[in-house]
Amino acid sequence: MTIAAALLALSLASAAASDKAPPAKPSAARPGVIKGTFAPTPNLLFVDPKPAGGQKPVWDVAKVAPDAADVAKSTYVVQPGDTLSAVVRKTGAGNAVIAHENDLDPPYTLRPGQKLKIPAGRYHTVRKGQSGIAIARAYGVEWSRIVEINHLNEPFTLRAGERLMIPATKEVAKMTLEQRAAAFTIDLTDIATGSEPALAPTAQPAAPTPSPVRTLPPTTAVAEPVVQFGGRFAWPLEGRMIRPYGPMANGGRNDGINVAAPLGTAIAAAADGVVLWVGQHPAFGNVVLVRHGSGWVTIYGNADKLLVKRGQSVKIGQTIAKVGMSGTSADRPQLFFEVLQGRKPVNPMRLLPRRGGSGDDSDTPDN
């Protein structure tokens, strides 16, 4: 059975089940993991997040052909004048994989006669404009798995000509139907780390601007803030916490916090940064993602109005959206607020100032 056929079968089975019983009530946990954390309704199972402004997402604009080349395990002897990029060109393996396998640290200085272990695998050559999400989808695997085996780190910027190791065909063949479905489900962490287009080898991403007028095309990458950010944030709004970070009573997990506030309440940037993504997500509704430097990203979901654009610089306290109840995870006006460092969710309460009183109503039945 092909991947497409398998996914279609799963979708039809889910739809049939939905005719017999009402869909499970969704939680605020991210929907990227099918088992346990989120019960998507059938019509949302393969619905992609959509950028604001009617644009197509970069993974639809820059399609990827699954043309990875197999590379055998070998040993490469460094020649005079060799750089790590030269070794990549000569061997066909990926720079991050070679560096990790040989304990090389930036700036990856090599010496003539040095023996480098070249890991076996199949490697995809990145083309200009391709995104991590598009590459993962082309091979029917999750972006998180490609990040893992290539030892990628923030800001997860891809460059044309770079080679990424792709999970082995045997590994893909053993994937369950749920795992194959998960590979086509885009969560917020994927957007934060795999939605930017690959740059040409010497190209620079678009510099941020405070103006909300500029509209960047999806094929233009957004610059990473160059500041060293320590990960201390301000509260994005005042309100009552209705769902805390961590395990949930329904067996799922909340990777952020949910704060109830009146409809239309201003949502403020929790720190200075650059808007990475603005759009609609099936579970989290209208969403803004902001980069802050040093791998930190904040996520603001379930919003009503979105007031910033991708590539716009924002200041701490600046209004970036208004409280709403968009997305299937919201049953009242609220803000879903998540903090990422790299691809790891961090409990926002550890990074926010203490407030008087707990403000926690997380024992409510919807938890």
Instruction: Walk along the chain (367 residues) and give the pLDDT tens digit of each residue.
Output: 444 444 444 443 443 333 333 333 333 334 333 222 333 333 334 578 999 989 999 999 999 999 999 999 999 999 999 999 999 999 999 999 999 999 999 999 999 999 999 999 999 999 999 999 999 999 999 999 999 999 998 889 999 999 999 999 999 999 999 888 888 899 999 999 999 999 999 999 999 999 999 999 999 999 988 888 988 999 999 999 999 999 998 888 999 999 999 999 999 999 999 999 999 999 999 999 999 999 999 999 999 999 999 999 999 999 999 999 999 999 999 999 999 999 999 999 999 999 865 445 444 434 3
pLDDT number for residue 230: 87
Give the separation between CA 305 and CA 318, rounded to whole angstroms: 14
Is the alpha carbon torsion for 333, 250, 187, 235 positive or negative?
A: positive
* Full-model pTM: 0.84
pLDDT number for residue 217: 94
Q: Hey, what are 223's tokens?
A: 């610059």
Give the separation between CA 367 and CA 364, rounded to whole angstroms: 6
Give the separation between CA 84 and CA 109, rounded to whole angstroms: 8
pLDDT number for residue 152: 93
pLDDT number for residue 23: 37
Q: Hey, what are 142's tokens?
A: 């999750």
Phi and psi at residue 204, in whole multiples of 5°?
Answer: -115, 145
Peptide bond into 155 cis (omega under 30): yes
pLDDT number for residue 38: 34
pLDDT number for residue 231: 86
With contact defined as beta carbons under 8 Å apart, do 139 and 168 qualify?
A: no
